[in-house]
Amino acid sequence: MRVLIYSHDSFGLGHLRRCRRIAHALVGSRKNLTVLIISGSPIIGSFDFRARVDFVRVPGVVKLRNGRYTPLNLLIDIEETLTLRASIIQHTAIAFAPDVFIVDKEPLGLGGEVEPALERLKAQGCRLILGLREVMDSPDRLQAEWDRKGVMPALERLYDELWVYGPEGFHDPLMGLTIPQMVRDKVVYTGFQRTVAPSARVGLAEPPVDEPYVLVTPGGGGDGADLVDWVLSAYEADASIPMAPVFLFGPFMDSQLREGFQARVQALGRGVALEFEAVPETLMEGARGMVCMGGYNTFCEVLSFDKPAIMVPRTEPREEQLVRSRRAADLGLVDLLIREEDRSPETMAGALRGLAWRRPPSDVLPAGWLDGLGVLCRRVVGEPDHDMDHADLLTPLAGHAAAGPGGRGR
C-alpha cells in the first residue's frame, strides 16, 4: 500500500512535523505500507524518518509580510517557481501511483499547484483526503480565503474525506462558513495527535539544567521573538520565579535576535538557551511546565506530556492560535496570556509563579481526545497488523538528526 502526503511548508515547522508524525504512525500500523512526503520545507533533511518513509523536496518559497510569496533560494520569479513545483508534484504523483493521497491544509496546494495531481489521481481511483487543523482561522477570514481560491468546488468534486485533526466538541474549523451538505458529510473528526518521547534517550544526554525548569518554545521561532523577550523580561524583573527557564528558540529565529537573547540568558545566570532540537520531546517530557504560542503541534504536546502550560498566541496574520488558546483556556486545559492586552514583565512573572501549582491538563481532558493517530490509521488501513505493538503507532523515531539552520546537531 502506498500513501502520498503533500505539505506546502512555506515557513515554520508545524506542517512538516504533523505530516511526519502521520507518516510514522501509518508505517507503524502496517508492514506492507510505504509513505512518500512532498514538502517545501527547507529543513526537512534535518529530520530522520522511519523505514518505509521518504520525502521529495520541491523548491522552497517564503511568505512576505504583504501576504505574497517569493522564492526562498532560486533567482526566478514566483510564477516560474510554482510552475516548477507543480510539475514535480504531478510527476511524483504519477510515478509513485499512491492508493491514498493526503493533502495538508491547502486544498489545492500553494497557488493551485496540487490541482493537476488531484485531477490525475482522482481519475485513477486514488482516495483523496484533505487534512485540516481543528482550528483554521476566524470564519470571515477563512471564507474570504476559500472563496478567492475556489476551494469549495474542489471539496465537492475531488475529495473523498475531510479529516479534522481534533476531537468533535473542541472546535469546528468550518463553523460559520457556507458549506454544502455533501461537503459536510465528508468531515471526519480524528482527535488530537498524541506525541510520546523516544524509548531511547536522544538529543541532550543530560537534563539541560540542574533544577526544575519551564520549557519556553516558540515553535519554529520565525515569529516567536516577542514571546521569548516577554519571558526573559519576567525573569530579569523577578528572581523569585521558582523554575528555571529553558529556551528552545527554533531554527527560523533571526540570528541577531537569537544572539541577543543568548547574551541575556547568560547574564541572567540561570537557565539555558538552545537553538534547535530535532527531538524536542525529551525536553518536553522533563519540563515541569511549558510556555508556548499556541500552534497545533505544541498544543498536542502539552496534552500528550500532560504539562501545565501558558499559551501566548499570535493574532496575525491568522487568528488560529488565538481561537485555539481561548477554547483551551475555557476548558481549563491551559492558562492564557494575550500580549496585546498586557505585556508587562510582572504579568508574565505572576503567570510563571502560578504555573508551579497549576493542575495538569489530564484533570479535565475528556477521554479519547488524544486518539487521533489511531483513528486516521484505521481509516487508511483498517485494523492494524495484529502482530505489531500498538505503541508503534505513536512512538517517534529514536534517531539522531543532522543539524538544522542555526542548530547544533545531535
Helix axes 225-237, 345-355, angle to 10 degrees: 80
Q: Answer yes or no: are the C-beta atoms of 96 and 2 closer than 8 Å.
A: yes
CA pair distance 360, 370, nearest whole angstrom = 15
pLDDT, mean over the chain = 88
Position 394 pLDDT exceeds 50: no
Position 393 pLDDT exceeds 60: no
List of residues 6+ apart from 254 with CB closer than 8 A: 225
pLDDT at 70: 87
Q: Which three cell numbers stand for residue 28?
A: 507503524
Give pLDDT tens digits for 232-283: 999 999 999 999 999 998 777 888 898 999 999 999 999 999 987 767 888 9
Position 316 pLDDT exceeds 50: yes
Residue 286 CB neighbours (<10 A) = 17
pLDDT at 219: 74
Position 31 pLDDT exceeds 60: yes
CA pair distance 67, 149, nearest whole angstrom = 14
pLDDT at 387: 47
Check if CATH label 3.40.30.10 holds for domain 2-194+371-393. no
State the SS3 of 326-382.
HHHHHCCCCEECCCCCCCCHHHHHHHHHHHCCCCCHHHCCCCCCCEHHHHHHHHHHC
Phi and psi for 210 in degrees, rounded to 5? -95, 5
Of 72-76, 267-271, 374-378, highest mean pLDDT:
374-378
**Percent of all residues in the chain with a pLDDT value above 90, rounded to a whole number:** 70
Position 396 pLDDT exceeds 80: no
Position 313 pLDDT exceeds 60: yes
List of residues 6+ apart from 48 with CB closer than 8 A: 278, 397, 399, 400, 401
Closest C-alpha to 304, from 376, 196, 191, 200: 196
Please state the rounded mean pLDDT for residues 343-354.
95
Check if CATH label 3.40.50.2000 holds for domain 213-363. yes
pTM for the model stands at 0.88
Q: Which three cell numbers stand for residue 166?
A: 481534533
pLDDT at 326: 96
pLDDT at 72: 87
Phi and psi for 93 in degrees, rounded to 5? -60, -40
Q: Answer yes or no: are the C-beta atoms of 378 and 225 closer than 8 Å.
A: no
CA pair distance 97, 95, nearest whole angstrom = 6
Residues of the chain with CATH 3.40.50.2000: 2-194+371-393, 213-363
Please state the rounded mean pLDDT for residues 145-173.
96
Percent helix, strand and coil across the chain, each to the nearest 5? 35, 15, 45
Place of cell 488524544: 370
pLDDT bucket at 157, cuts 50 / 70 / 90: very high
pLDDT at 203: 54
